[in-house]
A and B are shown apart, each in its own frame.
Chain A
């Protein structure tokens, strides 16, 4: 690990956050409006017929899932866009020709994308409080879990941004893979509510473990044990770091 150009990390980090500030209004309004709509549809319409899940009011039950869903999407989008845009506009030449290591590049881009994602996660958390009383059983664990999820999915997004060679490719994995997996990963229901064999099949979806772990930090219980959730997050972090390390070592889709 080589970290001698801290000024480069600061420069990229500030540049990326500046890009976020330019689109601040839409960047913040969209998740707030989306969360509100989910509360109206799921919390209001469906929640009135399904009062409790595992002893938790339904409107409160969906809050961790909503936060996770937004954070998955935002993390992937921000990180992939952050590295894809310089490739698309050609300004990547400056990054590649600068005295910046792969570690510094990842810290800067992923750090900035994770910051944005955490801001949005926090806003959704606060917005949810306008609609429902949400207890947090393990506040420190909740913050830690949010950070881990933001970093893991930003790393995943970063990989996507390097891999993608068109805007369509940039969209295809979040839309066709992550979004359905999130909906089917227990964001709006408990896996325990499913009948067999769907319950067992669902357990092959890694998103289940992430949402369950985050829900545990709120209510002290989840669909699977917290230790399994942590193993999945650690696994995702390791795999993503391994892939990114390989991409920088070989110059995959970065260098000619």
Chain B
């Protein structure tokens, strides 16, 4: 895959001395869904703002679709669609007018058929003549996506796309993002909902205090850093963990009714079979077993905490 965004040594410092970004290097491949994760104030929005032309970088360079965002800003910006975090809309405008306006702003000729398609895809066609102020928050978010897509961008930035929307709409949004990817649009999303990244992203980047801590293929990341938890539901309650199980560092849960064992999926020996054998040797019966993979959220929290500790 060819790269569509190339970021080198991107830094953003403020007069106060605060560094929002500190030498970020990142390459985004065309057609992928890239999730940028990070706590509040990590630098996610700053990075997007610089790429899109809303903020100025202190140093470093960014190319979008081969165009430098400063020297060839027209080429770079024409390739980008942006849905910012805040619901910023012209409240008194009609839906169809604001989407048509966005297309013109990006220098594209009128194309009512394309605008209609976007509005239909986003379930906004019935609301096309409604003023934006009459719409719900979720619908306004869709209008912002429609505006961002109006000029047929190659890259779509979604800054916290599902912040404040209900579960159903969030699911719809995920579906829509999946559909967009199928059309070849590269999607970069920032999110607080780790499940969102887990559900959709091809690659994940974790940013904290202005530094990109890691960029990994999502599946590989979960494999590499993921832990699994084995829960053994006991046939009979235990008062304490037998000393013979100390080697596995198990914990007693569920009021003595469950034993929990955390193991590394990447380890040569997971210790699962030996634990079960030892339970049998000790005459501890069990009636159920289940395993759970640690989520991206667990991985993210662990990473951020690890850095804080360092």
Contacts and interface: CB of A to CB of B under 8 A. Distances in A.
Interface residues of B, number: 33
A4 to B, nearest CB: 7
A256 B54 contact: yes
Interface string A76-120: 000000000000011101111111110000000000000000000
A8 interface: yes
Interface in B43-65: 46, 49, 52-56
Q: Is the interface of A mostly helix, strand, loop or mixed?
A: helix
Contacts of A100: 105
Contacts of B84: 90, 93
A91 B54 CA distance: 11
A15 interface: yes
Interface-centre pick from B101, B104, B109 (highest chain A CB count, 10 A): B104
Interface stretch (B86-94, B270-278, B291-299): B86-94
B108 A7 contact: yes
A153 B216 CA distance: 55
Contacts of A15: 101
Contacts of B102: 94
A89 B53 contact: no
A94 B55 contact: no
Interface stretch (B72-80, B207-215, B248-256, B300-308): B72-80
Contacts of B52: 93, 96-97
A11 B101 contact: yes
B147 interface: yes
Interface residues of A, number: 27
A7 B104 contact: yes
A91 B89 contact: yes
Interface in A1-31: 4-5, 7-8, 10-12, 14-15, 18-19, 22
Interface of A: 4-5, 7-8, 10-12, 14-15, 18-19, 22, 89-91, 93-101, 251, 255-256
Given A14-B101, A255-B53, 18 more contacts: A5-B74, A7-B108, A8-B104, A8-B107, A11-B101, A11-B104, A18-B93, A18-B97, A90-B86, A91-B90, A93-B82, A97-B52, A97-B54, A97-B80, A99-B73, A99-B74, A255-B56, A256-B55
Interface of B: 46, 49, 52-56, 73-75, 77-78, 80, 82, 84, 86, 88-93, 97, 101-109, 147
